[in-house]
């Protein structure tokens, strides 16, 4: 998955994380295909970033690699448990 800012959202991107407003009310459920109508509403609600399926937005490869390496290094001391490795991998995805 990928965390993208609202102005990077293009039609047909699919939400990977349910969006809630500041009061915790659900706005859009994960699995929803985003349209322009959605982005207008998100902008109105001051929501700046959303998590979408896949990696639809191109990013600088070198930067991604560098950041992933940095995060991997940080997590060496966290041990081999599968949960903490999952946390690591989600953070890697969300931060790039």
Partner 1 sequence: MTPVAADIKERLFNIRELPTIPVLHNRILKLMDGGNYSLDDLSNLIERDQVLSGKVLKLVNSPFYGLYSRVASVGKAIVLIGSNPVRGIILSTSLFDIADEKLPGLWDHSYCCSVVSGFLANRFNMKDIGEIMTAALLHDIGKVLIRKQLPEESAEIDKTVQSRGISVMDAEKMIINVTHDAVGSWIAGQWNFPPIINDIIAYHHKPGLCGTYPKEAAIVHLSDIIVKGIGVSASMDRAVPLFDEQGWKNLALPEDELMDILSEVLDIIEAEPAFSQYLSKEKR
**Residues near partner 1 (CB under 8 A), total:** 39
Measured from the CB atom, is 37 or 46 closer to partner 1? 46
Give least dist CB 10 to partner 1, A.
15
| Separation in Å, CA 52 to CA 27, 60, 72, 75 | 15, 18, 23, 25
Q: Is 18 in the site for partner 1 (CB under 8 A)?
A: yes
Q: Tokens for 73, please give them.
A: 């290094």
Q: Are 56 and 13 in contact (CB under 8 A)?
A: yes
Instruction: Show the DSSP H helices in 1-96 as ranges.
Output: 36-44, 61-74, 82-95
- The gap from C-alpha 84 to its chain's centroid, in whole angstroms, comes to 18
Q: Is 95 in the site for partner 1 (CB under 8 A)?
A: yes
Residues near partner 1, by CB under 8 A: 1, 3, 5, 8, 16-18, 20, 22-24, 48-49, 51, 59-60, 63-64, 66-67, 70-71, 74-79, 81, 83-84, 86-88, 90-91, 94-96
């Amino acid at each position: 998955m990928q965390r993208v800012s609202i102005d990077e959202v293009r039609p047909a991107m699919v939400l990977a994380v349910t969006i809630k407003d500041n009061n915790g009310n659900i706005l859009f459920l994960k699995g929803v295909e985003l349209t322009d109508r959605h982005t207008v509403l998100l902008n109105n609600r001051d929501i700046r970033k959303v998590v979408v399926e896949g990696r639809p937005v191109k990013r600088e490869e070198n930067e991604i690699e560098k950041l992933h390496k940095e995060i991997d290094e940080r997590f060496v001391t966290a041990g081999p448990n599968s949960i903490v490795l999952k946390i690591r991998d989600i953070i890697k995805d969300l931060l790039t």
